Amino acid sequence: MNGLPIDLALAWESLPALFDGLKVTAILTALPLLLGLALAFPICFARMSDRRWLALLAEAFVTFFRGAPLLILLYLVYYGLGQIEALREGPFWILFGSPFGCAIVALSLNHAAYMVEVLRGGLLAVPHGIVEASEALGITRRNIFIWVKMPLAIRYGLKAYQNEVVSFIKGTAIVSVVTITDLTAVANSIFEQTYDPFTPILCAAAFYWAFVNIIRLGFGLWGRWLNRHNAEDVAADAGVPGRGAALRRTSDLGQVTP
């Protein structure tokens, strides 16, 4: 074998199958992202709650679903729940009976656990003084949360959110353990039929790369829009080193994760 022999004919032939795989990957990304986010809010409130038992419970949730490798989590949900007779008879079997249902449940739980921390980080990064100022204006707690804390938390947490989404997309590559034929599974089966070590894997990699980078681009635009208040086009408005910018930067840090 010489060079990196990419078999163009094989690559061309595999395109339709790879596209189908990509569609599956996209669905397995989109749904858990929505569900996980929705789930993350109440858990995040619990985690930040003053009630000790609630906070502990939420922390346990986060520890568990962040700690357990997705590979094993999926396996346990899919094959494990399938062994429970009562569940098989019950109404939830529509969900747990299908590999998609299981994958979406497992992925959503995993994503939620990470999002709890992203959300919490964003909320904690909101400068206390700004919250105090809102209180001093007599704005109610609920309104402060909706109009001040959340908009800022989203800005501070955006980078971390992007990283989580990106890593999440890549994490879906293991759903083939529960019989789902996603992009990676397609590439693998082509590989197992042809034993060509480069073509299918590199093709799939290119698909992932494009998918991930489109998402990143989207986040970039979103972030630019959200942070228009810090844009530096009206340059040398000197004197003011933009407190917002400084805060944002420090809060980004540490969040540059996969």
Partner 1 sequence: EKLRLGNEGVYPPFSMVDSSGNLTGMEPELAREMCKRIGADCEIVVMDFKALIPSMLQGKFDGIVTQISPTPERVEKALFAMPIVYNPATFIVKKDSDYTLTKEGVTGKGLRIALQRGASMVPYIHKHFGKDTFTEVYYDNPDQMKLDLLAGRLDLVFDSKINWTLELIAKPEGKDYKLAGGDHWLGDPAIPEAERGYSWIFPKKSEELVKRVNTALAEMIKDCTYTKIRKKYVPVATLASEAACANVN
Partner 2 sequence: MTMHAPAPDAAKEPGRLAITISGLVKHYGSHRALNGIDLEVRRGERIVICGPSGSGKSTLIRCINALERHDGGSIVVNGIELTADEGTVQDIRQEVGMVFQHFNLFPHLTAIENCMLAPQLNRGLTKARAEKLAMHYLERVHLADHARKYPSRLSGGQQQRVAIARALCMEPRILLFDEPTSALDPEMVNEVLGVMEELAASGVTMLCVTHEMGFARRVADRCVFMDHGEIVESRDAASFFQAPESQRLRDFLAQILR
Partner 3 sequence: MTNLSLADLAGYMRQLGEGALITLELFLTSFALAFIFGVLIGIATLSRSRVVQGIWRVYASIFMGVPSLLVIFLTFYGGSAMLGAVLGEFGARIDISPFGAGVIAFTVVYAAYIAELVRGAIENLPKGQFEGARALAIPPAIMWGKVILPQVMRLALPGLVNVWSFMLKETPLVSLAGLQDLVAAAKIAAGATKEPFIFFVATALVFIAFSALSFRLASRLETRLDRGQRREAAGRSSSRAAA
| Segment lying near partner 3 (by CB under 8 A), choices 14-22, 26-34, 149-157, 244-252 | 244-252
Angle, helices 150-171 vs 99-125, to 10°: value is 140
| Segment lying near partner 3 (by CB under 8 A), choices 16-24, 36-44, 167-175, 237-245 | 167-175
Residue from 63, 140, 143, 179 touching partner 3 (CB under 8 A): that is 63
Query: Binding of partner 3 at residue 2 (CB under 8 A)?
Result: yes
Query: Binding of partner 3 at residue 193 (CB under 8 A)?
Result: no
For residue 223, the number of C-alpha atoms closer than 13 Å in the C-beta half-sphere is: 18
In the numeric block, which tokens belong to residue 82? Answer: 């399938």
Q: Which residues bind partner 1 (CB under 8 A)?
A: 79, 82-83, 88, 97-99, 176-177, 179, 181, 185, 188-189, 191-195, 197
Distances (CA, A) of 220 to 76, 121, 148, 152, 228: 36, 20, 22, 17, 12
Q: Which residues bind partner 2 (CB under 8 A)?
A: 127, 129-130, 132-140, 143, 147-148, 151-152, 155, 226, 228-230, 234, 237-240, 242-245, 247
Q: Nearest distance from residue 173's CB to partner 2, in Å?
A: 36
Residue from 24, 43, 46, 73 touching partner 3 (CB under 8 A): that is 73
Question: Do residues 46 and 57 lie in contact, with contact meaning Cβ atoms separated by under 8 Å?
Answer: yes
Query: Binding of partner 3 at residue 257 (CB under 8 A)?
Result: yes
Question: Do residues 117 and 62 lie in contact, with contact meaning Cβ atoms separated by under 8 Å?
Answer: yes
Q: d(Cα 228, Cα 190) in Å, to the nearest integer?
A: 46
